[in-house]
Amino acid sequence: MADIGPGPLHEAITPPTGWRGVAADWASDQRAFTSVPWGKVMMWIFLLSDTFIFGCFLLSYMTVRMSTTDPWPNPSEVFALTISGRPVPLILIAIMTFILISSSGTMAMAVNFGYRRDRARTAALLLATAAFGACFVGMQAFEWSKLIAEGVRPWGNPWGAVQFGSAFFMITGFHGTHVTIGVLFLLIVARRVWRGDFDRGQRGFFTSQRGHYEIVEILGLYWHFVDLVWVFIFAFFYLW
């Protein structure tokens, strides 16, 4: 048998190496990571970048908190609600935290039933998670309106350091935006699960690829991240 040797045919079947090989792998319609789907990898990359943003916000808050010469408002007094004529410290924040942590449980169960292809329970748990998220956003809106009515602004507040207002609105507003976006996508995915789009492999929203229950897990990664960030905000902003 004749040896083909180097030539056009040999070059055509030889995969590129080095950086060209990396680019070819990532540009192909294949999974660049063993047993890890593209959507999950991209979500992890997004969450990593979001971690840096939230980390910068919290580090900036701690720097301002420790460097300011003006007295910092006492969170137990600022975020207290008057119930039966008595102020109850942080009661609203505690309820918000309980609701958001509970939503992580319903989201985890939705992922579990999604991989079992239990359409009804998956959709119901996604809707329950969205309801918890909507309650959290509603309570946060109430908290904002209460503080605004008391005179808190991004450029000042009536209780001391002027940086308090900007830190509060920036950190809680950015997190609340994430929760709101998550609620919207929970409703979209719940609707698709309920209609049976993933069972039929129907092409999805925002994409031409066929739908599958994997999107429920990817959405779960996002939701758990949002819940975890709130734990840090609760610890650093409300308890410190």
Residue 218 class from Cβ within 10 Å (0-12 exposed, 13-18 middle, 19+ buried)? Answer: buried
Phi-psi region of 33 (alpha: psi -120 to 50; beta: other; left: phi over 0): beta
Q: Specify if 32 maps to a domain.
A: no
On average, the pLDDT of the chain sits at 84
Residue 104 class from Cβ within 10 Å (0-12 exposed, 13-18 middle, 19+ buried)? Answer: middle
Tens of pLDDT, residue by residue over 130-180, are 999 999 999 999 999 999 998 888 888 888 888 899 999 999 999 999 999
Q: Specify if 208 maps to a domain.
A: yes
Tens of pLDDT, residue by residue over 52-81, are 999 999 999 999 999 888 888 888 888 988
Q: Specify if 184 maps to a domain.
A: yes
Give the residue-averaged pLDDT of 212-239. Answer: 92
Q: Specify if 87 maps to a domain.
A: yes
What's the whole-model pTM score?
Answer: 0.81
**23 pLDDT band (50/70/90 cuts)?**
low
The number of domains in the chain is 1
Could you tell me the residue range of the domain that residue 174 belongs to? 40-238
Q: What pLDDT shows up at residue 49? A: 95
How large a percentage of the chain has pLDDT more than 70? 82
Q: Specify if 102 maps to a domain.
A: yes
**Angle made by CA atoms 74, 77, 80, in degrees to the nearest 5:** 140
As a whole number of angstroms, the longest Cα–Cα distance in the chain is: 97
Q: Specify if 206 maps to a domain.
A: yes
CATH number for the domain that contains residue 54: 1.20.120.80
Q: Specify if 8 maps to a domain.
A: no
